[in-house]
Amino acid sequence: MFYYFVGNGRLYCLPMDKVHPWFHENIDRFDERRTSTPVADRAYVTAGRLAPITAVLEEVDRVLVYQKQHEKWLSAH
């Protein structure tokens, strides 16, 4: 899975074979948030958990981090 943050140009490459079991073992540590998207006369509701990237980087193996600088990607982790 890839998470790219446009504001700071940082890309996180998360190995799902490691992240998935880690997340489920620790799900109660993370606050749930919900948001809705209005569509016509209805709204779709999406729920998720807030897992701090600092926790992911410290506790999950093989996460790759890249920093975009101009048109280049540099390893940042």
Percent pLDDT > 70 in the chain is 100
Mean pLDDT of 24-48: 95
Arithmetic mean of pLDDT, 11-39: 97
Tokens coding 38: 């209005």
Host H or E run for residue 47: strand 42-49
- Summarize pLDDT for 54-73 with one digit per residue, the tens: 999 999 999 999 999 999 99
Compute CA distances 38 → 21, 33, 35, 48, whole Å: 32, 17, 10, 18
Tally of structural domains, the chain: 1
Which pLDDT value is given to residue 77? 73
Mean pLDDT score, 21-49: 96
Q: Is the pTM of this model over 0.85?
A: no
CA 55 – CA 9 distance, rounded (Å)? 20
Range of the domain at 25: 2-75
